[in-house]
Amino acid sequence: MRGKLGPILSGVGGFLLVVGLLLKFYAYPNLAVAPVEQDTVSQLSGAGATVFDIPSLSEIQVDLTTTAKTTGDVKASQDAGDDIRVWENATSTKSDDDVVRSRSIERVAFDAHTGEAVECEKCGTYSETVQGQPEAVDFEGQIFKFPFQTEKKTYQWWDSTLLRAFPAEYVREEKLEGLDTYVFEQVIEPEVWTQMEVPPDVVGEEGEDSIEADRSYSNTRTFWVEPETGVVIKRQEQQGATLQIDGEDRATLTEVTTTFTDDTIANNVDEYGAKVTQLKMIRSTLPLVLGILGALLLVLGFVLHRRSQGSSRTESPAQAKAKANA
């Protein structure tokens, strides 16, 4: 039996090494992907917002709640290929007087591993900021999430108002309800993106005929990202929009800071905390443990096998015959 123990241990060691490699290089890549059947709802709240009220043509103070519902198009994702996901994000912002202040829909195709937008002609992607008027756009950068194994570097994050991506810079690490997160900040300086016809007195001008004012937009986004999954656990937006005449702000369209509600943050921590542990186990912990154990068994098996071979060569014919008869 002693002569057989070495090869047995070597075989077990080799098996453990193979399993460790399969977990890291096969199982993990198949698990670290955005889901096809996505179905989540996130809410952001912003108290004391200043908005331009169209019916009264004046600035008013309200509390805003933004609800974002994200769903995955299963068939479109399957048709697009294993590494592409097609999600739709419907966003609606209401004030506390129950008036819908804005709404939009974005249908985006993105890489299931990196979270970065990809071109997909058959996916039917679009952006819709005016109800019933979808617009084909070239999405770029991160849309819904950061990559799995997010790094401490600058990423490009999509802005649905200006319809292009802007840098989101890594700034620090921070614990969020016990969960490790990387914090990123995206600063979008004021920029004119469209025009709006308004009565002249709204922008401090004289006359009776409507005049065309520029609409300026700015935003500072802060993301708290769980780095193993790339999921945004918490997000804050400091939005500003004004009416300008010759580059001078004349009226405020929007001024608000909105943040994920406590319930949204808690739900994200609960849902993704367990997934973080699972992914880390499969990506690093189990492959490392199995690799070390497998290597030790291989070495031990090799040593025992060599010893058994050495002892059998030094046995006299009489000893070998006695062992055989026994």
Angle made by CA atoms 315, 317, 318, in degrees to the nearest 5: 100
Kindly list the strands in the beta sheet with 248-260, ordered across the sheet, starting from the edge strand earlier in the chain: 126-128, 100-111, 84-95, 58-72, 39-53, 248-260, 231-245, 211-226, 179-198, 164-176, 155-159
- The verdict on 18 and 43 lying in the same domain is no
pLDDT at residue 288, as a whole number = 77
- The verdict on 304 and 241 lying in the same domain is no
Task: For residue 16, give its domain range.
Answer: 2-22+286-325
Query: Is the CB of residue 226 less than 8 Å from the CB of residue 180?
Result: yes
**Which sign does the torsion angle of CA 103, 108, 111, 117 carry?**
negative
- The verdict on 87 and 16 lying in the same domain is no
What pTM was computed for the model? 0.84
Band the pLDDT of 6: cuts 50, 70, 90: low
Name which of 290, 288, 284, 291 is nearest 32 in CA terms.
284
pLDDT at residue 3, as a whole number = 60
Which stretch of DSSP H or E encloses residue 214?
Answer: strand 211-226
Name which of 16, 7, 27 is nearest 289 in CA terms.
16
In a domain, 269, yes or no: no
For residue 26, pLDDT over 60 is answered with yes
In a domain, 276, yes or no: no
In a domain, 267, yes or no: no
- The verdict on 12 and 43 lying in the same domain is no
- The verdict on 248 and 291 lying in the same domain is no
- The verdict on 155 and 251 lying in the same domain is yes
**For the segment 206-265, what is each residue's pLDDT rounded down to a tens digit?**
888 899 999 999 999 999 999 999 999 999 999 999 999 999 999 999 999 999 999 999
Query: Is the CB of residue 84 less than 8 Å from the CB of residue 109?
Result: yes
**For the segment 54-107, what is each residue's pLDDT rounded down to a tens digit?**
888 889 999 999 999 999 999 999 898 879 999 999 999 999 999 999 999 999
- The verdict on 205 and 186 lying in the same domain is yes
For residue 44, pLDDT over 60 is answered with yes
First to last CA, the chain: 13
Q: Which residues pair with 108 in a beta bridge?
A: 87
Q: State the chain's mean pLDDT as an integer.
A: 87
- The verdict on 97 and 199 lying in the same domain is yes
